[in-house]
Amino acid sequence: MASRQALPKLDIPPHHGWRVGIVRAVYNESVTEAMLQEAQQCLESYGVDHDVITVPGAFEVVHIADRMLATGRYAGIVTLGCLVKGATIHDEVISHAVAQGAMALQSKYASPVGFGIMNANTLAEAEARTWHGFDAAYAVLSGLVHAPSGG
């Protein structure tokens, strides 16, 4: 069983003006809804505004994240989804595509993308790890806090 690691408190600058986008896949909704609540808890605990857009599945997450970042309105994006192992390698194919897409967005926009696309062997295993939503939001905030200023 995966164990959660303690995360240090971030020093968010006052008057940061950050808005974070969250893209949540609704497939495996019981898991992704709980992940969304975790992500929102993280952002709200740091006083960061956010918007949520839902998509059917994990494969669609990157496209909408791209569109959100292209608006210039979002400082970063949290991606949330849940892939459960099946009889084929479909989950692996989707997982790799989404991971590569999320990484490309970080380079394209110089903005943090929190990778909250979870892979699990069973739905029960995924339900025990919904805290990954919090960690994905935390990763975005950490990226914003620690990113060097451009110049």
- The catalytic residue positions are 90
90 Cβ partners below 8 Å, 6+ apart? none
From residue 34, alpha-carbon distances to 24, 46, 81, 84, 122 in Å are 11, 19, 11, 16, 16
**DSSP notation for 2-17:** --PPP-PPP-PPTT--
Distance CA 64, CA 61 (A): 6
- CB 50 within 8 Å of CB 40: yes
